[in-house]
Structure 1
């Protein structure tokens, strides 16, 4: 579309352009599979509504005196004596659900460097649902980060805490989620009202997730596996698997739906990008749970996976639902780096809106206060909201993709590469200065993140002004010189 009226332009910019469907694509990378020795968990947060503002938030530690904790969807659990401090990314309307806004917090790192990404939504099969249906007022994506980050000192403890809640109070939906600390990372899946499983990801491998349950081929007796009480007996009793085996258990098949093209196409694509030497056939019922990458994986590699399409692949013309979709709200890549001082081990790379049209900004876990644009806004466009600045650019660029998307992509790719270089260099400075001045070093990291968030927001705003100017000029009628001279004399 080369030209359009200003009325249509306003509608295009401010309207949602997504569709309703299960959402999110995720990736876990073990420390020996990453290029810098960090443990990484990452995910696109996709949604059926594109105009859904996201905030940055920090929850300070607190002592509790209440007897019960209300989690917003009807779930009520005993109140812990104490909450650990943690960062989060709640929806704009979170306080309408819980008084302190601990709702749909999506991802974060707590004061013990336990990180979570929750969740990639999944589907449970009919037989599992008949045997153990979901509980309406149960554990759901909306309350998982708060339950785990406020209480867990290690990733494994986080799995156990959440598992106990599921067995005691029930789950409200099927999900897979990723919990990490500085030493290890776990993939956890919820398959029914009271059954779940968690497996430690091998340090030399990665795991690729779409919207189907993935855990299979695992040993229920392994020290690297946790699961709900009587899981094997329940599976056998309700004939969820024909011939269940303790040492080769298929949780995904027992509780989920395998072979769905909506999911397995993405699983194939992610593994094709990171392990191309395998040359796997497309559309297998289940793909390997853990794989070693052909080359060590960087943040930039994960960025490429999470913005991937099927262009140039075997599925170019019939691939279902790529990683890149127009209904992305945000993308996060969380690194836990053992070689950094304790307070600086957590680093979140955060983007807003569609990843392919946006930029990953580095946020050190030491940052507890954020620029105001990242803490305001609703589901209606506003000029002072960071979410809307980044999301609005995608909408503007979509009006004339050939002309405007290259401008947008060039600017953000340049900025993102600058961030990679800056963080690499800054990390060396921070490690050197920490021994001499811990508090000053922590402040340095926080100020760097604060400034980059602020400057990148301003850069997005300036580009939006430029694109709006270009679009309105393109909408102008082209007059002859004589007509123009006459108009200017009026």
Structure 2
């Protein structure tokens, strides 16, 4: 149910790599919380880790893999009740961590849920449970990878060896390059490198098509082309113009292609495309360099003012988004400060993107509270609660809240470059001080933003209860 946007460093206005996604859910109140993992789930302190036995790591959905040799710190954005959401769960483990950047500056956002066609499903049926699934992908990869390409290859090996129980799209990047990975069936997958001057948009349908399987920027499962030919998943398969999405997915569903059309219309308006085509270009160059603000606009986009207004059922921006993130990987920054996450807690339709450096390890209490029951102490409920109050008078109050957060984000944009320059200057003489500054800035701005939300919620509640109309 998600929508994602990736951009190469020559497609952005500041030379950064962008990975972004709206994590949508089936209902409006699905609490998310932030966490910093100093140790992975398989860290076996004093041999009391139930997840590890005989050098085998059992993840929360039952997947068993050898314990990795490396242990990198990372941040994540888990579901408050992820173990309840999982199709198959063996207890309270690390579940649905969704997005994160590790200490090697590898970023992963997982996943975009996809759909497999009947022919592919019959040829290579998905596992009934366990295996590679959204619930464990960030948990599995982030603690042990040093580059985006390593993450792609490792995930591919896991899919081929253990199988998948879902078909998914995964965003993977580092400060040098980014890749989009699609799982097409139980054991088959493909990954494409994002061109430096282009962007990619993903909804909930498979996207990879028109690629050369022999190109170094395309990685895939062993004997993929042979498998497609043997099972007649394509009428005329061509390994140099390969359509993975048609072989394994269901192209042309308006639920998905409408969003692709909309995002490409926003970022490349010079390209006049008909709506509801079966497939749209995999990669496109933007008409102008992409700013983080442009990504936010895409992730909040609706069909208002377009030919699909009143026709398309599924916009990009929806109220039931649980969280939204834009991960920025900056090759020009010092090693520890290359990762920044613009994070929304709840839906971006009614909450702000907050800039947080990936080294942030002091998470404010309100941002780390679990549970889906309303709590006045929860940051999630501060933002969601304020937005929900707007429904009392949608036209008036929603406009006020939207303006509040747009103004806040514009202020953050104005501060971004001076803060970045300050960090680089401090780092040149005292790296530890610069890292500490980035941590305290991130923690402080998180506190500040939830304070604004609570203040505005109280003011709006007062206005609503005093309104005599």
Instruction: Name the TM tier (shorter chain).
Output: over 0.9
What's the CA shift string for 1:187-225, capped at 9, x where partnerless? 000011111000101000000111100000001111111
Separation (CA, whole Å) in 2 of partners of 1:72 and 1:155: 24
User: Can you list the C-alpha shifts for 1:245-276, whole angstroms capped at 9, x where unaligned?
Assistant: 11001000000000000000000000000000
Deviation at 1:93, TM superposition (A): 2.4
Conservation of the 8 A alpha-carbon contact between 1:343 and 1:442 = yes
Task: Give the drift of 1:70.
Answer: 1.7
Cα distance in 2 between the residues matched to 1:98 and 1:455:
38
Q: Does 1:363 align with 2:356?
A: yes
**Equivalent position of 1:271 in the other structure:** 264
Q: SS of the residue aligned with 1:82?
A: coil
Q: Secondary structure at the match of 1:347?
A: strand
1:394 aligns with 2:399: no
Query: In the alignment, what sits opposite 1:201?
Result: 194
Q: Within the alignment, does 1:306 sit opposite 2:299 as a pair?
A: yes
In the alignment, is residue 73 of structure 1 matched against residue 61 of structure 2? yes
Displacement after TM superposition at 1:99 (Å): 6.6
What is the SS of the residue equivalent to 1:226?
A: strand
Quick check: 1:49–1:327 contact (8 Å CA) kept in 2? yes
- How many Å separate the matches in 2 of 1:126 and 1:50? 31
Partner of 1:128: 120
* Cα distance in structure 2, aligned partners of 1:459 and 1:358: 11
- Residue aligning to 1:6: none
Alignment of 1:400-411 (within 5 A): 400-411=393-404
Which of 345, 351, 360 is the equivalent residue of 1:352?
Answer: 345
SS in 2 for 1:246: coil
> 2:458 corresponds to which residue?
465
Q: State the secondary structure of the residue aligned to 1:400.
A: helix
1:82 alignment partner in structure 2: 70
Say yes or no: does 1:104 pair with 2:96.
Answer: yes
**Is 2:59–2:93's contact at 8 Å kept on the other side of the alignment?**
no
Partner residue in 1 for 2:36: 58
Aligned 8 A contact 1:70 1:98 in 2: no
Moved over 6 A (4+): none
1:154-213 per-position Cα deviation (integer Å, ceiling 9, x unaligned): 001101111111111110111111100111000000011111000101000000111100
**Corresponding residue of 2:175:** 182
Q: 1:72 to 1:369 in 2, by over 3 A?
A: same
Question: Following the alignment from structure 1 to structure 2, what is the Cα–Cα distance between the partners of residues 429 and 137?
Answer: 46
Q: Following TM superposition, by how much is the alpha carbon of 1:410 offset from its aligned partner in structure 2, in angstroms? A: 1.4
- Match for residue 420 of structure 1? 413
Any gaps of 5 or more consecutive residues in structure 2? Answer: none
SS of 1:277's equivalent in the other structure is coil
CA distance, structure 1, for counterparts of residue 11 and residue 189 of structure 2: 26
Distance 1:348 1:354 in 2: 16
Matched residues in 1 for 2:416 and 2:156: separation? 36
How is 1:84-483 mapped onto 2 (pairs within 5 angstroms)?
84-94=72-82, 101-135=93-127, 136-474=129-467
TM-score, scaled relative to structure 2: 0.94
Report the secondary structure of 1:187's partner residue: strand
Counterpart in 2 of 1:487? none
Paired residues of 2:31 and 2:346 also in contact (CA < 8 A):
no
| 1:235/1:254 contact within 8 Å kept | yes
On the 8 A contact 2:177/2:194 being kept in 1, the answer is: yes
Q: Secondary structure at the match of 1:161?
A: helix
TM-score by length of 1: 0.90
- Corresponding pairs, count: 454
The 8 Å contact of residues 90 and 101 in structure 1, kept in 2 or not, is answered as no
Displacement of 1:393 in angstroms is 1.4
* Aligned-pair CA distance for 1:95: 6.5
Aligned to 1:47: 25
Structure 1 counterpart SS, 2:422: helix
Residues in 2 aligned to 1:98 and 1:131: alpha-carbon distance in whole angstroms: 29
User: 2: distance between equivalents of 1:76 and 1:371?
Assistant: 33
CA distance in 1, matches of 2:91, 2:154: 23
Match of 2:16 among 17, 26, 38: 38
Shift of 1:100: 7.1
Per-residue deviation, 1:399: 2.0
Deviation at 1:32, TM superposition (A): 0.3
